[in-house]
Amino acid sequence: MKTRPRQFFSVMLSLLMALMCMTTASVYADYQAIPEQSPKSMNKMTFFMDNVQVSAGSDLQLDIKAINPVAIKSLEHIILTIPNGFEVTGMSDTSSMFGGSSVTYEVSGNFLNFSIISDGSLNENDIVATINLHVSEIVNPNTYDFKWVTTAMSCKLPTGSSYAPTFLTGRITVNDSGSTPQTTTTLCATTTTSTTTTTTTTTIVEFNINILSLPEKTAYVIGEELDLSGGTYSCTGKYNTDVVIPASIKYMTDLHDDRFSDSYIDISEFDNTKVGTYRIYIKASKEGMYAEDYFEVTVKEPETTTTTTTTVSAYINITIDSLPTKTAYVVGEELDLSGGKWHSDGIKTDGTPFSSVPYDMTDNSRVDTSSFDNSKTGTYRIYLTENINGLYGENFFDVTVSESEFTLGDINDDGFIDSVDATAVLMEYAKLSASNIGTFDENQRKAADLNKDGFTDSVDATLIMMYYAYISAGKNDTLENWLFTNNI
């Protein structure tokens, strides 16, 4: 299987950010905090950690802090990713920020999952909780991100209402064992050190929001609710090391999107009770950098309509509720309509309305499959028909017959197994999650199901990227052999 040379690690970062969401430390004697510009643009409770430097083989005490704090009743299932080589050795039992609180936690693999239960009071101290960590001696000198996964988080105010805090990614720079950690000031510029040893901190120097598509609906009448369906955007930028922050599609319907540090939609200007033009803002921040963009929607008076009385003619309407599980075939395969459902409704000749029960497409009495020919390639129409007292209605869908079998992992059938295929799987997974209706044909579904669990999901996309990384490193092995070797 051929592979294209690509900026692999940028692509991998983009995909991982679609599956994860984004996030200083009081110190022991062997590391120092790196002060960084506060996220001044945040206008709600924002959790963050000071960027720090630490020597490999040492311990550190990591303080989680918050600005613009609000009193809470509970803040549960906050998940912090722990990079390899960092071991959680303990955590504070109470929160000095939230009064009368208890803190509980558990560690599973590279994830620290903790919760805070409070009596609803708020203290002046800005420390939310403290995590004790040990840095292994074998951890390579580098900068490591401590990111947040908040998809399972639940935050309740004392009133019982829900609240969505903001989480910013924290960063820890590991030096060589025995080297002296240096304090560095980072304001989106190069670093300055107090010794002859120069430490360069990776910082963002460019950060932008790009609106990819506007919502399907941008014009409203008074009383209509805002609908951002169809709107997408991406966040892009660049580090001072010329490493590019790759773009990934984000949906405007996710009013708070933890997949990118802090990315959210500000709809506070919109007022559907009066005529006007209103701006919808997209705001995001990452490691101290802030960006925003906007588009406009309008609210108008409802149009005056004239009601006319018409005579309704008898009719039959046929609606396809779900297509068969299999719509793509190869030469020789038998037609299988399992999973297909449809129903009819309309008005009878006597003027009474009707609606049928859902029909199964395997009931051939109302399904015309005469055009299907599995002996040759082509596109064939399957007709659904209903005949009631002389009234006739029909609808149809298409199935295809092709000669070629699928290639596992090669979704777009271009001869490569790469990030393009992984992205296609993720987009199909998003469609299935939103409406349970995807666009993959049968061959694509088979090609996408790497772990053979019958689903097209993020696990399959991750396996494609892992194999792409494997062969991009100069390895030469088929995807099937790689999956077998790794017990997948």
Buried b (16+ CB within 10 A) or exposed e, 273-300: eeeeebebebbbbbbbbbbeeeeebebe
**Domains along the sequence of the chain with CATH:** 8-202 (2.60.40.680), 206-300 (2.60.40.3630), 315-402 (2.60.40.3630), 419-485 (no CATH)
What is the 8-class DSSP label of residue 195?
S
- Give bridge partners of residue 213 from the DSSP assignment: 232
Of 52, 54, 36, 59, nearest to 203 by C-alpha is: 36
**Identity of residue 389:** N
CB 104 within 8 Å of CB 87? no
The pLDDT profile of the chain, 488 residues, written as one tens digit per residue, is 444 444 444 445 444 444 433 333 332 323 333 334 345 456 788 888 888 889 998 999 999 998 888 999 999 999 999 999 899 999 999 998 998 899 999 998 889 999 999 998 998 777 999 999 999 888 889 999 999 988 788 999 998 899 999 888 888 999 876 554 543 333 333 333 334 445 567 788 888 888 989 999 999 999 999 999 999 988 888 888 878 877 777 888 876 644 445 678 899 999 999 999 999 999 888 777 788 899 999 999 998 766 655 555 888 999 999 999 999 888 888 999 999 999 999 998 888 898 989 999 998 789 999 999 999 989 999 999 998 888 899 999 999 988 767 789 999 989 899 999 999 999 999 999 999 899 998 889 999 999 999 999 999 999 999 999 999 999 888 898 899 889 88
